[in-house]
Amino acid sequence: MKELFDRMGPTYATTNVVSSFGFSEFWRVACVSIANIKPDTVVCDLMAGSGECWRYIPKDVAEIISIDFSDFMNERQVERSKKVNRSIDIRCENATATSLPDASVDHVISAFGLKTLSQSAISDLTRELHRILKPGGTFSLLEISLPKNPVIRLPYQWYLCSAIPLIGKLMLGDIECYRMLGKYTTEFENCTALIPLFEKAGLEVEYGNHFFGCATSLSGHKKGEP
Ligand SMILES: C[S@@+](CC[C@H](N)C(=O)[O-])C[C@H]1O[C@@H](n2cnc3c(N)ncnc32)[C@H](O)[C@@H]1O
């Protein structure tokens, strides 16, 4: 999986805009805003890519920690942290088993990272979220999804599975990476099936629909008083 993202890295920004119908930035804004980030807190961006969400994190937080296992994405993060002039703790690690201490994070955000995780990796992720979050700490995870309404679903699925690989081939010379994107999104479907895993890990979780279900989110908090 890491190899897929290292390979996709150079064209990721373009693909992301195209695969989300240009909605990716709106959905990142939504993902960050749902986390209800407070001043002077520690924010962890899981599966951070090249740091696409950072610009939406309020300037008055105490610390941003970024986790991504792709070397390529981490290199991009270093460039971006200089560009946005923010000091970011960049860690090249697996999001399901980080080196962060227990109960050390106030808010966790993650945009577009869920679809490539297996069921067991998502279980590990929920346990990791529970471990690193402080009591009362919030999380917000969002992913591109397939709408339930067939009028939107069928053209969107065609677009993801057939049109995007073609665009990938024509514009970027790579068809396989983009075929994988459609495959993962189709298999992922939406965030509904993940709710029990979050609950099992002891997290209070809420489901969110964005633009007729073209993206869905899971957000909530770790039980307990802050
Ligand atoms: C689709 S990109 C999303 C990037 C970014 N969050 C955004 O808003 O565009 C998914 C990222 O998750 C990373 N990733 C996937 N699985 C991971 C894992 N288990 N641990 C750490 N990073 C992971 C990939 O390397 C990739 O950079």
* 225 alpha carbon – ligand 1 mean position (Å): 30
Does 122 sit in the ligand 1 pocket, CB within 6 Å?
Answer: no
Model pTM score: 0.93
- In this prediction, residues 190-206 reach a mean pLDDT of 97
215 has a pLDDT exceeding 90: yes
User: pLDDT by residue (tens digit) across 155-175?
Assistant: 988 888 888 777 777 766 666
Kindly report, residue by residue over 6-55, the tens digit of the pLDDT.
766 677 777 677 667 778 899 999 999 999 999 999 999 999 999 999 99
Work out the percent of the chain whose per-residue pLDDT is above 70: 92
> Residue 45 in contact with residue 51, Cβ under 8 Å?
yes
| Helix locations, the chain, DSSP H | 2-8, 12-19, 24-34, 71-83, 119-132, 150-158, 164-172, 176-188, 195-200
- Half-sphere CA count of 135, side-chain side, radius 13 A: 4
Taking 90 as the threshold, does the pLDDT of residue 69 lie above it? Answer: yes
Q: Which residue has the higher pLDDT, 24 or 137?
A: 137
Q: Which residue has the higher pLDDT, 163 or 130?
A: 130
Question: Would you say residue 127 has pLDDT above 70?
Answer: yes
Closest CA to 46 of 161, 125, 136: 125
Is the pLDDT score of 104 beyond 80?
yes
Look over the chain and give the mean of its residue pLDDT values, rounded to a whole number.
90
- Predicted confidence at residue 124, as pLDDT, reads 98
Higher pLDDT, 104 or 162: 104
Domain boundaries defined on the chain: 2-222
The two three-digit tokens of residue 188, written as one number: 């992922």
Res 160: pLDDT: 82
Give the DSSP per-residue string, 44-66.
EEET-TTTTTGGGS-TT-SEEEE
The architecture that CATH gives domain 2-222 is 3-Layer(aba) Sandwich (3.40)
- On the CB side of 164, how many CA atoms lie within 13 Å of its CA? 27
pLDDT, position 162: 83
11 lines ligand 1 (CB under 6 A): no
For residue 57, the model assigns a pLDDT of 97
Cβ of residue 111 lying under 6 Å from some atom of ligand 1: yes
Q: Say whether pLDDT at 208 is over 80.
A: yes
Q: Confirm or reject: Cβ of 69 under 6 Å from ligand 1.
A: yes
Residue 117 CA: nearest ligand 1 atom is 16
- Cα(47) to ligand 1 centroid in Å equals 3
Percent of the chain with pLDDT over 90: 69
